[in-house]
Amino acid sequence: MSQSAQASDNKQPPLHIGIIMDGNGRWAQKRGLARTAGHKEGLETAKKIVKACANAGIKYVTLYTFSTENWKRAQEEVGYLMGLIKGHLRSEFEFYKANGIRIEHLGDLKGLPEDVQTEIINAKEETKNFTGLTVVLAINYGGRDEIIRSVKKIIEKQFDSDSLTEKSISDNFDIPELPDVDFLIRTGGEKRLSNFLLWHSAYAELCFTDTLWPDYTEDELIENLNEFYKRTRRFGDVLIK
């Protein structure tokens, strides 16, 4: 990368970016390939973009990898995705180490096949001391499911409803310390959230690109980040008082 994302404007890089990596199936279909070929290529893109995020000074990147609704897909596609996730987590320790990447998981772990659960737990454990970039893999993740699971935990603790706050909800999420999303990118042309990080994206800046995920590049990430640096965030306040 020739250009530093930070140099575009004197603003800080986003602390947390979320990426909805959409368009793998269409990428493959355009080439007369099976949808699974798009997922394989999409994984290569994810690795490149994760490295570029680290270079841009971002601290957390959450990748929407498999949603709670993606189980509706054909068994063959779901099985392929689970295998891809498992194989990647098992074989990429050197990649994480070389890039200082810490792996975290967001989503309902217990709803995943046991062998995938094991690889997620191992990858988290093996990378827990790396300090460069936290890559949060949202696998079997749904924003509504995350809120429901948090509320269930709160009720189980016989929580006094008068003391319920935003913090008590977020303290019971899978990763309580995960910051709000500053910048949310969706590839693949659709302009929707599809149940991704509903709580954390309350004040996220949104960016939609038509590029299909396997075609997304480091340069486009820098372009999109430069768009982020131009945004004025108000969080409900006014600029001049």
The piece of 61-69, 92-100, 102-110, 199-207 that touches ligand IPE (CB under 6 A) is: 61-69
Task: Kindly list the strands in the beta sheet with 183-186, ordered across the sheet, starting from the edge strand earlier in the chain.
Answer: 101-106, 133-141, 60-67, 16-20, 183-186, 205-208
Residue nearest to ligand IPE (CB): 25
How many helices (H) and strands (E) in the chain? 8, 6
Helix/strand/coil (H, E, C) string of 169-215?
Answer: HHHCCCCCCCCCCCEEEECCCCCCCCCCCCCCCCCCEEEECCCCHHH
Residue with tokens 């640096």: 229
The residues, any chain, with a CB within 8 Å of residue 186's CB and separated by 6 or more, are 19, 20, 22, 192, 193, 206, 207, 208, 209
Number of amino acids touching ligand IPE (CB under 6 A): 17
The piece of 22-30, 89-97, 99-107, 161-169 that touches ligand IPE (CB under 6 A) is: 22-30
- Record the tokens describing residue 146, joined without a space: 């995350």
> Using the rule CB under 6 A, which residue among 125, 190, 210, 219 binds ligand IPE?
190
Mask of contacts with ligand IPE, 191-220, x by CB under 6 A? Answer: -x-x--------------------------
Residue (60 or 66) nearer to ligand IPE, CB:
66
Considering the rule CB under 6 A, would residue 21 count as an interface residue with ligand IPE? yes
Q: Considering only CA atoms, which of 216, 175, 179 is closest in space to residue 12?
A: 179
Residue 105 Cβ, how far from ligand IPE at the closest point, in Å? 14
Residue (24 or 134) nearer to ligand IPE, CB:
24
SS3 86: helix
Which of 22, 145, 182, 224 is catalytic? The answer is 22
Considering the rule CB under 5 A, would residue 22 count as an interface residue with Mg ion? yes
Mask of contacts with ligand IPE, 153-182, x by CB under 6 A? Answer: ------------------------------
The piece of 116-124, 155-163, 184-192, 214-222 that touches ligand IPE (CB under 6 A) is: 184-192
CA 196/CA 84 separation, integer angstroms = 21
Considering the rule CB under 5 A, would residue 64 count as an interface residue with Mg ion? no
Partner that binds at residue 122, options ligand IPE, Mg ion, none, CB closer than 5 to 8 Å by kind: none
Residue 80 Cβ, how far from ligand IPE at the closest point, in Å? 10
Assess contact for 210 and 186: CB atoms under 8 A: no
Q: Considering only CA atoms, which of 5, 7, 105, 119 is closest in space to residue 54?
A: 5
Applying CB under 5 A, which residues contact Mg ion? 22
Site residues for ligand IPE per CB under 6 A: 20-26, 64-67, 70, 81, 188, 190, 192, 194
Catalytic residues: 22, 70
